[in-house]
């Protein structure tokens, strides 16, 4: 398997397909590079080079007991892009991966052409007086309790319910989609998944303020994980060159459930 070894000795697995302008994908919690299959195959067919990695502690990357935080994830991504010699790249991040992309782009803009934040936790998702639409503290504690408890069952409950909106009236759950989410999650480290929740408590406002390249923000207004009101309007306001595309009724996992809609929208932005 293709891997790089970081400066602190962690092997990071990555996929690197095709040629042309590079598009780099950063996955959400508790998933892997495989969550981008629909996007990677789509852009590959349109003449782009596509790259995605498993974050440390996830999937096929080393499950080390340290560095499960945003600072290390961004350093790992920087090491990967430097190893591959990527320039003029488009970075696309989903959920937790959106925080990774925002912080990476804010620090390495000389390597970046554009960025996309899909259902991203940026600028912050914790409920407060300044962010009344965010998730309450108890929600984050419940996620950590789910990881500590019967993780296998919890990793069925999340995709069966709020992640893909399969708990909404009239929804038609896909067993294949649910099983694929469970498969990716169970391949990772319980410790890394538990500690990842701490990154959801961070504020990424300064990262967004520092970004000058074009950024597309894509969010479903029925996102039950990162509520639309929590992140989207404030994120676009903080970006110097940001634009917003809202998807009525779409869930957090819309890249999977509505890839037929989002992929052409992503391509239009990349080409613009």
**Residue 168: count of CB within 10 angstroms of its CB:** 13
Place of tokens 């892997």: 32
Q: Could you tell me if 261 and 124 are in contact, meaning their C-beta atoms sit under 8 angstroms apart?
A: no
Return the DSSP state at 119.
S
Q: How far is CA 21 from CA 89, 98, 107, 262, 271, in A?
A: 6, 20, 20, 19, 11
Catalytic residue among 35, 61, 72, 95: 95
Alpha-carbon distance values, 235 to 29, 159, 203, 205 (Å): 20, 26, 11, 8
Q: Which residues of 191-211 are buried (b: 16+ CB within 10 A; e: fewer)?
A: ebbbbbbebbebebbebbebb
**Length in residues, the chain:** 272
Pair of tokens at residue 175: 């067993």
Which candidate in 53, 72, 219, 252 is catalytic?
A: 252
Is 219 known to be catalytic?
no
Report the distance separating Cα 28 and Cα 95, nearest Å.
Answer: 5
**223 flagged as catalytic:** yes
For the question of residue 95 being annotated catalytic, the response is yes
- Choose, from 219, 223, 230, 258, the residue flagged as catalytic: 223
Catalytic (active-site) positions: 95, 223, 252
């Amino acid at each position: 398997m293709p891997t790089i070894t970081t400066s602190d000795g962690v092997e990071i697995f990555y996929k690197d397909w095709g040629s042309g302008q590079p598009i780099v994908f950063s996955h959400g919690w508790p998933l892997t590079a495989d969550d981008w299959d629909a996007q990677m195959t789509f852009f590959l067919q349109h003449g782009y080079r596509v790259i995605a990695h498993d974050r440390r502690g996830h999937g096929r990357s080393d499950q080390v007991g340290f560095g499960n935080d945003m600072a290390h994830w961004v350093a790992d991504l920087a090491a990967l892009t430097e190893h591959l010699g990527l320039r003029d790249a488009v970075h696309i991040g989903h959920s937790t991966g959106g925080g990774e992309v925002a912080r990476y782009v804010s620090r390495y803009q000389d390597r970046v052409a554009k960025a996309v934040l899909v259902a991203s936790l940026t600028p912050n998702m914790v409920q407060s007086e300044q962010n009344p639409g965010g998730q309450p503290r108890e929600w984050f504690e419940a996620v950590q309790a789910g990881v500590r408890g019967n993780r296998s069952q919890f990793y069925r409950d999340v995709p069966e319910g709020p992640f893909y909106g399969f708990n909404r009236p009239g929804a038609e759950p896909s067993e294949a989609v649910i099983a694929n989410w469970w498969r990716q999650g169970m391949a990772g480290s319980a410790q890394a998944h538990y500690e990842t929740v701490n990154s959801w408590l961070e504020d990424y406002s300064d990262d967004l303020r520092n970004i000058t390249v074009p950024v597309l923000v894509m969010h479903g207004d029925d996102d039950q994980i990162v509520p639309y009101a929590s992140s989207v309007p404030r994120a676009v306001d903080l970006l110097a060159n940001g634009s917003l595309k809202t998807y009525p009724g779409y869930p957090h996992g819309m890249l999977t459930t509505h890839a037929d809609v989002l992929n052409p929208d992503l391509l239009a932005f990349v080409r613009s």
